[in-house]
Chains A and B, each alone.
Chain A
C-alpha cells in the first residue's frame, strides 16, 4: 500500500470522470477544486467491493473541503460556506 499522495492543505481537483458502476464520488463535485481537510484513512475500493471483489490495494480516503460559491453557480450564502466530501485518492489530481 503506497503512502497518501496528498496532505492536509493541498489543493486538489476531482476528476471529471463519467463511468458506470458503483461510484462514491457524487456527480455534483466532479471537476471541482478544493482543499484536503484531512486524511480519513486507507480503505479498499468500494467500486470493487460492490461486485464482491476485494478492492485492494487499499487507497487513501480524504475529506476535501470546497467553497459552496465555487461549487454552485447560484449559491445564495456567504463566501465562507463550505462543503466537505469524502473522496478516494484515485478520483483526485493535484489542482
Chain B
C-alpha cells in the first residue's frame, strides 16, 4: 500500500509557484529541529522527524502547512523519546493559553 506521503507519480494539478517569507515562528521550528538533532543533544534523528510526519493522517497531512507538520512531528518525537512528558506538555500549553488571555504574549 502506497503511503500518502510517498507521492511520486501521483496525479496533481499545476505547480503553484508560491513563495512566502517564512514567519519567525516557522524559522524557530526549523531551528528547534537543527538544535535537537545535533550531535551534542541527539534528541531527534531526521529519520524520526520524517517518520512522525508520515504518521500524520492523510487529511491532516495535506491540510497542514510544512512547518505545522514539523512542529507536530517534533512534539511527537520528544514525547516518544521521553524528553518531555504529556503532563509537562499539557501544563505548558495551558500556561501559554492563560498568558495569551492575559495579554502577556
Note all chain B residues with C-beta closer than 8 A to A23: 3, 6
Residues of chain A within 8 A (CB-CB) of B50 are: 22, 46, 50
For this complex, 23 residue pairs linking A to B, each with C-beta atoms less than 8 Å apart, are A18-B1, A22-B47, A22-B51, A26-B8, A27-B2, A27-B6, A27-B8, A28-B8, A28-B9, A29-B8, A46-B50, A49-B45, A49-B47, A49-B48, A50-B47, A50-B48, A50-B50, A51-B48, A51-B51, A52-B45, A52-B48, A52-B80, A52-B81
Describe A's contact surface by its main secondary structure: loop
Q: Is B54 an interface residue (CB 8 A)?
A: yes
Q: Give the shortest distance, in Å, between A26 (CB) and chain B (any CB).
A: 5
Q: How large is the interface on A (under 10, 10 to 19, 20 to 34, 35 or more residues)?
A: 10 to 19
CA distance A51 to B20 in the complex (A): 33
Q: Mark B27-63 against chain A: 1 for CB-CB distance below 8 A, else 0.
A: 0000000000000000001011011001000000000
